[in-house]
Structure 1
Amino acid sequence: MIHFAIIGCGHIAKKHVEAIRNTPGAALIAVCDTNPQRVEEYVREYGVQGYTDLSDMLKNPDIHVVNVCTPSGLHAPLAVAGADAGKHVVVEKPIALTLEDADRIIAACKRNKVKLAVVHPNRFRPAIVELKKALDEQQFGKLSHANATVRWNRNQEYYDQAAWRGTKALDGGVLLNQAIHNLDLLTWLMGEAAELSAFNETRLRNIESEDVSAGIVRFANGALGIIEAAVTVYPSNIEESIAIFGEKASVKISGTSANRIEYWRMAGVSEEETNELIEKVNADPLGKPGHQCLIEDMVQAILDDRTPVVSGEDGRAALKLILDMCEASDCKQVTTLRG
């Protein structure tokens, strides 16, 4: 039995609790938060040990894995502390807010010979699994371009719920908070970006970070990418989608959270086979919860002594794309058009 502990008893921690409780071979035995009331709620509801001091919890030899579920800007010191205590680490997205902090986490886990997984659960959705398989099997041929789109609403009340939301020090904007799962898919499916240009703006929300972003990418393989991310969509979420186009295939995965096949056409695949695949995926578009898939994989990675399927380097790649977009936007190297 692999014993887990959660650091940070906020909203996202509930998903980790359910994922751990639903994973064979895993057990939640402890939680830690600086808020004693939150700790007491978890202790009472789940029958776990509660801590308000992280160093005390990390001394517990029965804990094998710590799940970091705090605001993003706190990930690095907590993940490093967990690794230095000899615990495997699961860290919520984004892995960190800077590449330096991401590298600190990765280095600490390597130094202490512990596993590191980053929470990018969208990779496990049935439609995305099928898309990745088609790409790996070269069914697209030469790639033309890809689109990654997040058209969501996060109103001012959402940001006013907690002082850290929308801040550059602890949260980030639409790219680091909402769009990072989609951009993780983009880098996972299309590979490393070689060139990019981007515009980030804070148009409608009273926050430090951007609430809308648009970017263009040239990947190392020569294909192009178009990125659109916004939390300014009125009045509610419209879509999260990823589309990939090649000489032999066109696919768009859409829905409000990139989980349904909207379009799927591939050379050499009959209409009947295509419709069967679409019907199968769209009948259960979410599949097994992604957080549970990640916890199951961490358990198996420990037992098999292998790297988790969503590694620290994977988390770093998505972060790097976003930070490169932010840098490109700050540089403002653009052509001003005149009439």
Structure 2
Amino acid sequence: MTGDKIVFGVIGCGRIAPKHTESIMAIPGAELAAVCDIVPERAEDFASKYKAKPYLDYHDLLKREDIDIVTIATPSGSHAEIGIAAARAGKHVMVEKPMSMTLREADLLIRACRENGVKLAVIHQNRFNQSIKLLKNALEAGRFGKLTHGQATVRWNRGMDYYLQAPWRGTKLQDGGVLMNQSIHNIDLLQWMFGPVESVFGYTHTALRNIEMEDVAGAVLKFKNGAIGLIEAASTIYPKNIEETLNVFGETGSAVIGGIAVNRVEVWEFPDSEAEKEQIFAAQETDPPNVYGFGHREIIEDMIQAVQTNGTPAVPGEEGRKALEIILSIYKCQETGVPVKLPLIED
């Protein structure tokens, strides 16, 4: 730390990186010092816009002694490699979803951060949506009674122009499909609400886009508490994004959190909910300008607090690994045609 400031470096200057940089710059006591991208023009333009020093090689950025935390926003297949290098350089690590493309890499990243005494946080920013906080509090208070089932739905549009923006998009090694890239946030929320998963069965399909991985998927989860989970994921929705919705149902409660990025309470039914419903619906979050939502600043603030107090980030590596395991289990089920029991054993 430089004085009272927490100093950041951002690695990867693509589509999601502005959410990182703008959030960092809006936080009192946080400072953006460096950015990195392998494309020189992009690194230079990004650095100029956000008044930071540009780098083309992340190893050079990691040599800086003043940087406390790095955020990693590169193609998914490089997340673990860069995160491990950052940990070995003594930097705290915030990594975009998915934290890696395999469980083995995820475990190596978790171990590297633990062995080098640095914090690891996976950026699942939707956990910080006001609507999701409300839902989690209701669950922890037991207001749903016995949980019966839930559903995570992502109905978005990603046209072929999106995949043609970069050669890594839609590939097995660097990106994954709609489950790994778009739906993973909502799958994270589903498992966060319902707890450990016992088994998974699912199908994936490449219906419309000329990519290696799926653009449509459906899956059924059996949770250890007996509840059933449903996953619907599609990047083929015509003509634009419609919704990211999380449903939770129990014997004494029903809730639907919808909107473009699980940001709006649509159903809130409990025996004692009439008085609070008026307040909840009156205080709704406005729709975010895009599907990334409003949670990046809060998850970065949470990481800063974890560093300053030697606490645990809200979404540590062990938590980020859970949604990854579910998705990889769906992929394995698609290959084998049989249900997959967790923990997943990778080939």
How does the TM-score come out when normalised to structure 2?
Answer: 0.93
Q: Spell out, residue by residue over 1:64-98, the C-alpha distance to the aligned partner (whole angstroms, 9 max, x if none).
A: 11111100001011000000000000001111111
Q: Is the 8 A contact 2:200 2:326 kept in 1?
A: no
Corresponding position: 1:246 with 2:269? no
- Say how many residue pairs are matched: 332
1:144-159 pair list within 5 angstroms: 144-159=148-163
In 1, distance between residues paired with 2:276 and 2:36?
50
Counterpart for residue 299 of structure 2: 294
- Aligned counterpart in structure 2 of residue 55 of structure 1, from 53, 56, 59: 59
> Mapping of 1:61-76 within 5 angstroms?
61-76=65-80
Cα contact 2:154–2:233 (8 A) shared by 1: yes
- Whole-angstrom CA distance in 1 between matches of 2:60 and 2:285: 46
Q: Using the TM superposition, give the Cα deviation of residue 232 of structure 1 relative to its aligned residue in structure 2, in angstroms.
A: 1.2
Report how far residue 285 of structure 1 moved: 5.7
Instruction: Work out the CA distance in 2 between the residues paired with 1:162 and 1:36.
Output: 15
| Worse-matched range after superposition: 12-21 or 44-53 | 44-53
Q: 161, 164, 171: which one pairs with 1:167?
A: 171
Name the CA distance, whole Å, in 2 between partners of 1:53 and 1:333.
43
- 1:1-339 maps to which residues of 2 (within 5 A)? 1-269=5-273, 271-280=274-283, 282-284=284-286, 289-333=294-338
Unaligned runs of 5+ in 2: 340-347
Q: Deviations over 1:189-216 (max 9, x none)?
A: 1111101210111111100001100111
> How far 1:286 moved relative to its partner?
5.5
**In 2, distance between residues paired with 1:10 and 1:238?**
24
CA distance in 2, matches of 1:56, 1:232: 40
Distance apart, 1:314 and its partner CA:
1.0
Task: Point out 4+ residue stretches in structure 1 off by more than 6 angstroms.
Answer: none
8 Å CA contact 2:264–2:285 kept in 1: the answer is no
> Aligned partners of 2:216 and 2:285: how far apart in 1?
32
1:278 positional shift: 2.2
Contact in 2 for aligned 1:149/1:228 (Cα 8 Å): yes
Distance 1:193 1:278 in 2: 32
Distance 1:186 1:122, change over 3 A: same
What is the aligned-residue identity percentage? Answer: 49
- The amino acid that maps onto 1:273 is E
Moved more, 35-44 or 105-114: 35-44
Displacement of 1:51 in angstroms is 1.4
Structure 1, 230-239 or 92-101: larger mean CA deviation: 230-239
| Aligned mates of 2:286, 2:238 — CA distance in 1 | 28
- The unaligned stretches of length 5 or more in structure 1 are 335-339
* Matching residue's letter, 1:138: G
SS in 2 for 1:179: helix
Query: How far off its partner does 1:272 sit?
Result: 2.8
Structure 1 CA distance for aligned equivalents of residues 275 and 285 of structure 2: 16
Deviation at 1:284, TM superposition (A): 4.1
Aligned partner of residue 256 in structure 1, secondary structure = coil
- Report which stretch shifted further, 7-16 or 325-334: 325-334
The question of whether the paired residues in 2 share the 8 Å contact of 1:219 and 1:225 is answered with yes
Task: Measure the CA separation in 2 of the matches of 1:39 and 1:150.
Answer: 32
**Residue 306 of structure 1 aligns to which amino acid in structure 2?**
G
- The 3-state SS of whatever aligns with 2:101 is coil
